[in-house]
Structures are given as structure tokens and as C-alpha cells.
Structure 1
Amino acid sequence: MTISYNVVGDGPTVLLVHAGVADARMWAAVVEDLRDDHQVITLDLRGYGDTPLEPGAKYSDAADVLAVLDAAGAGAVTAVGSSYGGYVVQQVASREPQRFARLILLCAPTDNVEPDEDLRALWAEENQLIDAGDVDGATELTVTRWIGPDADDEARGLLRTMQRHAYDVQLAAGDVDNEEWPVVPEKITAPVRLITGAHDFRFFADCADYLADRLPNATRVELPWAGHLPTLERPADALELISQDDED
């Protein structure tokens, strides 16, 4: 299989899908907390971490996640998706809802919601830096804007390392074709926890609100201390964010 993935531990299965500015290393502290009483699956999507991205590749991140679940022999799993990883999880759960016992979506985008002006401005600034060949500048922009105020230097350093590697791999690959499956919230039958951060871009709260209105079984959580990557910003709280019962 092209996709680099890892399975550790024994017990109910938890799938962790990383953010688009990170890779599977963002989950290190979470894996250590969960592995004693869960089977934990982590993966690197194409162009991140240890998974290559071939020039001109045609693929689907959603199909890759489904292939990893098949390869791992996973039944109905709890899936935790951070940001873009949460969007990929929505795609898979819309097509094969029976594969999921529960979803936790951390600051995840979704279909049919327009980005806010601050996020559009950030993307424009990133594109300008990349077009100018200033990959270091684009990386520092990520570290400045995509992680919240509670993150320590170690977390910021890890984000810097993950994002710089992703830029290097993805820019070398050039144009690729990643097929996105449609997100249909009404088809996602598993309970879903929608988590957003008060210091994040408004777009992600708008996405969570949109999903909360359409998912059959959703719980909405706003973290007053969090930015876009709460499990990196407060690792000690990550297990509670993932394992806490929705009725708590």
C-alpha cells in the first residue's frame, strides 16, 4: 500500500486523521494516552509525513482512508479528524456510514460553507509567498496563524517541521488530482462531536454550525482557549476531548 500507516494497542479502534498543515506526528501524545486500552490507527495522507506524492498523481484521500481501514481489518471505528482530516472523515462516513461508531471533528471544514474574509486573506498571503519562492516565509505564516495562544515552543516547532516537509513534497509533485467525495451530513448516522476553538477562523465555527443543523446525531463544543489545533495546543486535554461522553 502506498499510504504509510501505523496500528498500535488493543481494544476498541480509534482512527486519527491529521490536519492539512501537519501529519501523523501531531497525534503522538494522543496515541500514548490511548494505546493501553484502544487499538489506534494513524496514517499520513499523500504528500505528508512518510507517504509520497507522485507528480501528476490521481487519487482520493477518502479512498485511501477506507483502504487503510480495510488493511487494518477495522470494524466500526471511532474516527477523530483534525481540520482537513475531519473533512476527509466526513467524505468516508457519508459514503460508508456503517464503518463508523462515532466521529470527533476538530475544527473541520465541510461542503457548502463560504470561507470568511480573514481566511481568504491568509490563503492569498500564503500563495504570494509560495509564488515568490519563500517557502520558509509560508511555513512561518502557518506557525503564526494556524495554532492557538496556548501552544508551547515544542508544539510550534513540530508544526513548523511538519508543514515545511509537506510543502517540500507537495511543491515537488506539482499539479495532482485528488478526488473529493461529496459530504452528505444526513447520511452520517454515527454520533458526531463538533469541536471548534474561539481563537480559530470564523469559517470553522460556521462549518460546525452548518453540520450541527444537518447531522442526525450531533453535539457542538466550543473551546474558549483553543485555536485551530487544540490537541497540539493542550496535549494534556486531548484525551478528554476525544473520549468524553457527549452527554457529559
Structure 2
Amino acid sequence: MAKIEVNGALLAYDEAGSGNPVVLVHAGIADRRMWRGLVPALAARHRVIAVDLRGYGDSELPAAPFAHHDDVVGLLDALGIASAALVGCSFGGRVAADAALAHPERVSALALFGAPVSGNEWSEETERLWEELVGEVNPEDLAATAAGEVRFWVVGPTRRPEDVDPELIRFAEEMDRQALAAEKALSAVEAGELDPPAIDRLTELRMPVLVGTGADDVADLRRLADRIAAEAPQGVRLPDVPDAAHLLPLERPEPVNAALLDFLP
């Protein structure tokens, strides 16, 4: 692990390999460790940087206003990188898409996995699923909240917990407990949003865009992936990966590695 100052905050990151740079941006229920199955394969051809967003993992959270998508580009500045491919999962995909829209000249390619881009609204179907699968949880109970979020996102609405590797569930809950603590701290800091948001600007994503989801992720995100791939001028939609839900790159790294090595410049 290394740390570097980005827009007044020390961000933690792991770096491996050489070649065209690729920045990996983690999900909101995770941290940079979720990329553990991708870094070795990608680093065989690329300079791979897995970052903890501000407040998450080992990164700091100063009280000053900030924007996650500006931090991603600030990381490129701090590392002397003119442009990079961005790979994001879930909230990290939202951040990566926002960075690509706010700073298009800095993003050579964009890969999004289960990404609810900014401005996206959840359907009533998804809200009902949450009530059925998770229900009311005390937000002060981080362990119970993490267990509920992992049940919904990592197991997914079409699988049972016993269908999923117990080590994946354990690791996801560990990451999510830390992420929930980070989100509580982040709620006290002013965070900038992309304006206008990405949902109505997908045609502006003019770099190559790869979009994928797990077959067991929520239907909203599979439909949104279809839309992103259709509206981005160079969008490519991967087939849904079987037996995988929201943290696709963590749960099924092999097909994700293969897709990215074929896609990345």
C-alpha cells in the first residue's frame, strides 16, 4: 500500500505492473481489496492502480468539501498520468462515469460493472425487493446493516445465501462494515455531485465503454447496463455473467479479467 496527497487528502492505493494505466474504483459497500482477483492478471499488461476513495479503506477524510470524481482525476495528476482507463463497480462505476463526463480528456476507456450512474432512480420493484429480503434494520447496528446489504447485493434477489460461497459473504460483510462507518463520516462532509448528472448524458461518453452485470444482480441494474451500452457511442454490453450478483469482479474475476484484457487499450 502507498498513500499520496490528492486534493488535500491522503488517498491509499495499491499499484502493480507497467503499461497503459488502469484505475480500479471500488463499490460503495467495499474498498480497494475487492479487486484482489483482477490486479495480477491486469498487471501483466497494464499499470494497475486500485484506490480507496476518500474516507474508505485506508484513505483519509478531511473536513473540506470534495467530489469523488474530481479525486479520481486528482489521483492521475498526483501520479503524473495524462489519461487512464477507469474500471468501476457499483458506486465506483458511478464515480468513474462522472469522472469521464467531467474530465473526458483524462479517460481513455471506461468499464462499468453494476453501475447505478448519477441521477439514476430505483424502481418500486427494487424497493419492494429490499423490503422482502432485508426489511427494517437499525442503521446504528453496522453488523446487521452490513449483513442486510450483503444479502441484497452480494447474494442477490434470485439466490439464497446457501447458494453463495460463505467466504465471499464473510469478506463482503467485513468490507461493508468498514464502508458503512466511512459513509457515516462522509455524511458530515460536503460532497460535490456531477451537475447535470450522468443519467441524461450517456451519449457524451465518447470513449470506449464496456458495461457488464451479474445475472443475479437486481433487474434495475441489468436494464441500466443495456441503456448505457445503447446510448454511449462506443458502448459494448457484455452478456450477463451467470452465478454472480452485484460485486461481479470480486465474485467472478475470471470472465471479468478476460473481458477487460480484450477491451482495455
TM-score scaled to structure 2, two decimals? Answer: 0.83
Contact kept, 8 Å, 1:16 with 1:40, in 2: the verdict is yes
Correspondence 1:231 to 2:249: yes
Correspondence 1:90 to 2:105: no
Contact kept, 8 Å, 1:151 with 1:232, in 2: the verdict is no
Q: Which residue does 1:163 correspond to in 2?
A: 176
Contact kept, 8 Å, 2:116 with 2:224, in 1: the verdict is yes
Farther-moved stretch of structure 1 (72-81 vs 170-179): 170-179
Correspondence 1:46 to 2:34: no
Structure 2: gaps of 5 or more residues: none
Following superposition, the deviation at residue 155 of structure 1 comes to 2.2
Distance 1:17 1:140, change over 3 A: same
Following superposition, the deviation at residue 57 of structure 1 comes to 4.8
Distance 1:107 1:155, change over 3 A: same
Farther-moved stretch of structure 1 (122-131 vs 98-107): 122-131
- Can you list the C-alpha shifts for 1:105-162, whole angstroms capped at 9, x where unaligned? 101012454312243246678794244x322111111221211457523322221111
Q: Which residue does 1:110 correspond to in 2?
A: 117
Identity among equivalent positions (%) equals 34
Secondary structure of 1:101's counterpart equals strand
For residues 168 and 64 of structure 2, what CA distance do their matches in structure 1 show? 31
Secondary structure of 1:20's counterpart equals coil
Distance 1:173 1:98, change over 3 A: closer
Higher relative CO (Cα under 8 Å, sequence separation at least 6) belongs to: 1
Where does 1:12-91 land on structure 2 (aligned, <5 Å)?
A: 12-54=20-62, 57-91=64-98
Contact kept, 8 Å, 2:130 with 2:152, in 1: the verdict is no
Farther-moved stretch of structure 1 (59-68 vs 115-124): 115-124
Following superposition, the deviation at residue 224 of structure 1 comes to 4.4
Q: Which residue does 1:180 correspond to in 2?
A: 193
For residues 91 and 217 of structure 1, what CA distance do their matches in structure 2 show? 17
Following superposition, the deviation at residue 80 of structure 1 comes to 0.7
Following superposition, the deviation at residue 174 of structure 1 comes to 4.5
Correspondence 1:211 to 2:219: no
Correspondence 1:243 to 2:250: no
Secondary structure of 1:89's counterpart equals helix
Contact kept, 8 Å, 1:118 with 1:201, in 2: the verdict is no
For residues 167 and 126 of structure 1, what CA distance do their matches in structure 2 show? 16
Contact kept, 8 Å, 1:113 with 1:206, in 2: the verdict is no
**Count of aligned pairs between the two proteins:** 244
